[in-house]
């Protein structure tokens, strides 16, 4: 399929006996396989940590003597041989979960387009949930051997690190990625130079360099506009995610959609189902249409022809989450494009208008909904909300028949299951449980795990979380630029024996991070309770342009500093994949307080549930499907209340007081809270299989992909 070779970075000092470490380091498969991870980690813990858990970087800098030592260490070699065997078997799948070849002999793949991918901390190409969804999606497609290629951006400044100033204001530190030491490789052309693709119809032409990330069996191709032949302003198009300037943002989306399609062509990938993960890449639809027009179809017929090959997943009901571009900008960039499609200016604009706000501009979601053959929201409720939002696009059908289906999100189980929890499951469910982890029946066997073992494992993970937080805080203190009180609110007072709530997500206002502070006195009581206290760990970044979000965060820091709350509120800086892992494994309760119906799905609660951490959440998104009365706690939002926030908070206090706190602190003589452990088990039993990425990918396959695969003529 790929006509080009990717260059192998050389680790010339790697002994022959361990030559496979190079293949391993160059494929993110290692990141969701504990055995493979341990191969790097046990070479040298310190070096592993300093590399940011990035084997590529670690091996480059690793001393030859230590590698040679490992190469003759029997135990190491035994583990190495085992991992390499598993890896090689993995890369040669026995079965495919989609037919590959269809009529006329074309090999079909799914081309998945997304503006962000959350794969691992060493590739900071994400802002939040959308990215992790995309990352988990392609990992699962790899596991199921769904033939898929993924398209995205190489953001050299993708990594905005968050630091809290003494006055509680968020600062964003730019940290540029070192392309040479990231687990990415250049895609080379036949002359051995990095492949450069020119985005069609751009004037002056915009060029992108092509990089590749191996995600198991899936290739993720990343476009990078920072190439010398580009005009200066064009070099920054892919500098970072979701650039605020509208024109640059439009150029970004032109590169992602139209440039992405061109890149696939250059790579020899011509026959595919186009799956748009959110509307940022929707211009790719035009390229599919253009192809049919070049073969002689009129515009309308070309649109019909792509119906079975195009899937659009919408991800947000928040209006600001949909890109809308002024018509003047669309005119500037597309005036030479619409004649090729056989359209005039008016007809082209019509493709992107929102019928209720026809003057607002060119709406990427409206555009993607119109031109895609299949459309879906990311939870049952979100799809219903989307049908209502977009009904005006289908004025002739009743709201419940608006053609927006749903596939509820899920999380990649091997990525998010904590290795010690996995060992427990291996031991009590059977070593091959992971092969069938989307079968709910398997999870019933969790009852076999002795309460004591599950509890002790969980407590150990909580200690690990608190250790990690304190270490971060200590480092911050050592650096000398943070006041004492900032250090204290950074987690210095956290205690492993205390009932611990976790709240980590982007600081967008609709997520209502401060909801539980509605009644300060009431809340203070829980924090200061001598025998049965609670503590809360917060984390999350506000978007750099989101001042209301930053103010929210500043208020939180102020509250955390107030001794009234007993020092039991911690805010941990710089939420990202790694901290996310610690949190969803180590807290006792995962708290979520969105304003319905704005949480389209939410996935962090699923990651927690998978590890036996029950959810306390407003009913919205996935929790409307996941809550069953035994596996956590739900709060029904009442928009008709005189004070909806206050009434939501009141319900949360009551649940804490009457249910959660007594249940958690009711321990048997051996120190185990058996009823609490029961809730932990119910959480895993009811949610782990249903909200796995495996269930999700199979649903996309059955609902959408097979349709296109079978009907090709």
Ligand X SMILES: *Cc1c(COP(=O)(O)O)cnc(C)c1O
Residues that bind ligand X (CB under 6 A): 128-129, 132, 505, 575-577, 580, 602-605, 607
Smallest gap from Cβ 584 to ligand X, in A, equals 7
Cα(606)–Cα(684) distance, integer angstroms:
9
Cα(353)–Cα(322) distance, integer angstroms:
12
Question: Nearer Cβ to ligand X, position 70 or 378?
Answer: 378
Smallest gap from Cβ 426 to ligand X, in A, equals 24
Cβ–Cβ < 8 Å for 272, 111: yes
Tokens of 261: 């399609």
Question: Nearer Cβ to ligand X, position 53 or 290?
Answer: 53
Q: Is 390 left (phi over 0), alpha (psi -120 to 50) or beta?
A: alpha
Smallest gap from Cβ 71 to ligand X, in A, equals 36
Question: Nearer Cβ to ligand X, position 135 or 566?
Answer: 135
The CA R_g of the chain, rounded to the nearest whole Å, is 26
Cα(140)–Cα(67) distance, integer angstroms:
32
Question: Nearer Cβ to ligand X, position 442 or 516?
Answer: 516
Smallest gap from Cβ 605 to ligand X, in A, equals 6
Burial 203-219 (b: 16+ CB within 10 A, else e): eeebbbbbbbbbbbbbb
Cα(45)–Cα(51) distance, integer angstroms:
10
Question: Nearer Cβ to ligand X, position 221 or 575?
Answer: 575
Smallest gap from Cβ 421 to ligand X, in A, equals 17
For the chain, report the end-to-end CA distance as a whole number of angstroms.
Answer: 21
Question: Nearer Cβ to ligand X, position 226 or 577?
Answer: 577
Smallest gap from Cβ 387 to ligand X, in A, equals 22
Beta bridge partners of 375: 312
Nearest CA-CA partner of 14 in 62, 51, 86, 84: 62
Question: Nearer Cβ to ligand X, position 271 or 506?
Answer: 506
Cα(586)–Cα(494) distance, integer angstroms:
12
Smallest gap from Cβ 676 to ligand X, in A, equals 23
Question: Nearer Cβ to ligand X, position 290 or 541?
Answer: 541
Smallest gap from Cβ 332 to ligand X, in A, equals 35
Question: Nearer Cβ to ligand X, position 198 or 578?
Answer: 578
Smallest gap from Cβ 600 to ligand X, in A, equals 8
Tokens of 238: 């892919």
Question: Nearer Cβ to ligand X, position 206 or 508?
Answer: 508
Q: If you search the block for the tokens 């179809």, which residue do you land on?
A: 297
640 CA to centre of own chain: 34
Tokens of 133: 């969804």
- Cα distances from 469 to residues 490, 513, 622, 703, in angstroms, run 8, 20, 29, 43
Smallest gap from Cβ 233 to ligand X, in A, equals 31
| DSSP string across 162-211 | EEE-TTS-EEEEEE---GGGSS-EEBB-TTSSBPEEEPTT-SSPPEEEEE
Cα(636)–Cα(651) distance, integer angstroms:
9
Smallest gap from Cβ 219 to ligand X, in A, equals 23
Cβ–Cβ < 8 Å for 114, 150: yes
Question: Nearer Cβ to ligand X, position 208 or 504?
Answer: 504
Question: Nearer Cβ to ligand X, position 315 or 561?
Answer: 315
Burial 155-187 (b: 16+ CB within 10 A, else e): bbbbbbebebeeebebeeeeeebeeebbbbbbb
Beta bridge partners of 220: 150, 213
**3-class secondary structure, 512:** coil
Smallest gap from Cβ 416 to ligand X, in A, equals 8
């Amino acid at each position: 399929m790929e006509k080009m070779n990717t260059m192998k970075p050389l680790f010339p000092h790697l002994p022959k006996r361990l030559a496979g470490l190079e293949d391993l380091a160059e494929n993110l498969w290692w990141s969701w396989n504990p055995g493979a991870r341990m191969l790097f980690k046990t070479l040298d813990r310190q070096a592993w940590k300093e590399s940011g858990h990035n084997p590529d970087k670690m091996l480059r800098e690793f001393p030859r003597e230590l590698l040679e030592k490992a190469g003759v260490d029997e135990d190491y070699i035994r583990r190495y041989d085992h991992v390499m065997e598993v890896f090689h078997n993995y890369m040669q799948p026995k079965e495919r979960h989609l037919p590959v070849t269809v009529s006329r002999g074309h090999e079909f793949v799914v081309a998945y387009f997304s503006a962000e991918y959350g794969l691992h901390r060493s590739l900071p190409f994400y802002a939040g949930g959308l990215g992790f969804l995309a990352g988990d999606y392609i990992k699962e497609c790899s596991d199921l051997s769904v033939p898929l290629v993924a398209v995205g951006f190489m953001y050299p400044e993708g990594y905005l690190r968050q630091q809290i100033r003494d006055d509680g204001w968020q600062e964003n530190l730019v940290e540029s990625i070192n392309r040479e030491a990231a687990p990415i490789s250049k895609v080379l052309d036949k002359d051995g130079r990095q492949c450069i693709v020119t985005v069609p119809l751009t004037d002056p032409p915009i060029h992108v360099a092509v990089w590749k990330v191996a995600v198991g069996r899936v290739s993720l191709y990343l476009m990078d506009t920072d190439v010398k032949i580009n005009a200066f302003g064009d070099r920054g198009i892919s500098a970072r995610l979701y650039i605020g300037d509208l024109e640059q943002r439009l150029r970004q989306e032109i590169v992602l959609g139209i440039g992405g399609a061109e890149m696939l062509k250059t790579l020899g990938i011509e026959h595919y189902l186009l799956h748009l993960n959110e509307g940022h890449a929707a211009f790719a639809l035009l390229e599919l249409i253009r192809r049919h027009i070049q073969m002689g179809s009129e515009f309308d017929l070309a649109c019909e022809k792509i119906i079975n090959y195009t899937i659009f997943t919408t991800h947000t009901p928040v209006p600001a989450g949909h890109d809308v571009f002024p018509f003047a900008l669309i005119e500037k960039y597309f005036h030479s494009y619409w004649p090729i499609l056989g359209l005039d200016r008016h007809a082209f604009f019509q493709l992107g208008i929102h019928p209720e706000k026809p003057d607002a501009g060119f709406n990427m979601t409206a555009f993607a909904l119109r031109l895609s053959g299949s459309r879906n929201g990311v939870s049952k409720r979100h799809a219903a909300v989307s049908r209502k939002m977009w009904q005006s696009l289908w004025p002739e059908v009743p709201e419940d028949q608006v053609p927006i289906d749903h596939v509820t999100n899920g999380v990649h189980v091997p990525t998010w299951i904590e290795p010690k929890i996995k060992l427990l499951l291996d031991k009590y469910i059977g070593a091959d449980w992971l092969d069938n982890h989307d079968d709910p029946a398997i999870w019933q066997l969790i009852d076999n795990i002795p309460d004591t073992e599950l509890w002790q494992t969980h407590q150990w993970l909580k200690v690990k979380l608190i250790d990690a937080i304190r270490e971060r805080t200590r480092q911050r203190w050592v650096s000398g630029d943070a006041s004492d009180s900032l250090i204290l609110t950074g987690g210095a007072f956290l205690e492993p024996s205390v009932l611990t709530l976790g709240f980590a997500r982007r600081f967008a206002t609709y997520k209502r991070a401060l909801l539980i502070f509605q009644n300060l006195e009431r809340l203070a009581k829980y924090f200061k309770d001598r025998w049965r206290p609670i503590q809360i760990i917060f984390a999350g970044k506000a978007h750099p342009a989101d001042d209301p979000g930053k103010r929210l965060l500043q208020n939180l820091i102020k509250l955390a500093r107030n001794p009234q709350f007993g020092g039991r509120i911690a805010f941990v800086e710089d939420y990202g994949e790694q901290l996310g892992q610690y949190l969803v494994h180590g807290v006792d309760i995962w708290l979520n307080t969105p304003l319905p119906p704005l949480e389209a799905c939410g996935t962090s609660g699923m990651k927690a549930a998978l590890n036996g951490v029950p959810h306390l959440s407003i009913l919205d998104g996935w929790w409307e499907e996941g809550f069953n009365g035994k596996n956590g706690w739900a709060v029904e939002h009442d928009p008709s209340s005189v004070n909806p926030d206050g009434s939501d908070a009141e319900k949360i206090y009551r649940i804490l007081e009457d249910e959660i706190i007594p249940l958690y602190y009711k321990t048997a003589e051996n120190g185990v809270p058996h009823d609490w452990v029961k809730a932990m088990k119910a959480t895993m039993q009811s949610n782990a299989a249903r909200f796995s990425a495996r269930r999700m990918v199979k649903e996309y396959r059955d609902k959408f992909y097979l349709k296109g695969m079978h009907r090709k003529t």
